[in-house]
Structure 1
């Protein structure tokens, strides 16, 4: 992967972050909407191009099937792959087996984030001890 490719990815990511941060800004003009659409299309093309460069065909097919089932999971995997490519941690194209490992890591990370359960009890109600005391008074 060349430095030029990495620079394009960085610029695209920066634009994406700026759009997310600015959310409702720039929604007023008619010309700005088509400019934003073309920018988003260009970013999508750059992502697709980079993924084509780093994925073997079997891995790309699996990622496509993942996207059909759960879009957010596929995006998480793509982001992780792009990050690995940017940091130079990919020495060769990603195989289907390596993609499965990444999928497992992303799924495990998401499970940890989603598995937090918070139990809140309502105050002022009866509990079992109070109920027993009341019943025993009547006997």
Structure 2
């Protein structure tokens, strides 16, 4: 996708957000107030501006394709990139290869979080404490 195509998509999305924010609260499907929707629109514009500054066109294109497939992963990557930019840890624009590395790191972290096994034991019919075990041994 060329920069012109991305710009057209951004303009269309911005127009859509403006149209939604100009709708009255009763017409707004989320029930959010005009203030909240305009705040969300400003935040989206700020995120887009920051990402445009820190990503090369190829990296921005890849991130857009990722967003189409998995919204949550693209949002996680964007959040990391914005955090790195705000803490001045980026020295140059992020290339597509660097974005791939970041995607790999995000995927590994998500796999680790998903692979954790949590065992919640609840009281009940089992031998939950030493007293139950002692009572059982007395009967023998």
Whether TM-score is above 0.5 comes out as yes
Q: Does 1:105 align with 2:95?
A: no
* Residue matched to 1:56: 56
TM-score when normalising by structure 1: 0.62
Which of the pair has the greater relative contact order for Cα pairs under 8 Å at 6+ separation? 1
Runs of 4+ in 1 over 4 A off after TM superposition: 118-121
Give TM-score, length-normalised by structure 2: 0.62
- Which consecutive residues of structure 2, in runs of 5 or more, have no partner in the other structure? 1-24, 126-140
Structure 1 segments unaligned to the other structure (5+ residues): 1-26, 125-139
Report how many residues are paired: 96
Match of 2:43 in 1: 43
Give the root-mean-square deviation of aligned CA atoms. Answer: 2.4
Shift of 1:120: 7.5
The answer for the alignment partner of 1:80 in structure 2 is 80
For residues 114 and 45 of structure 1, what CA distance do their matches in structure 2 show?
Answer: 32
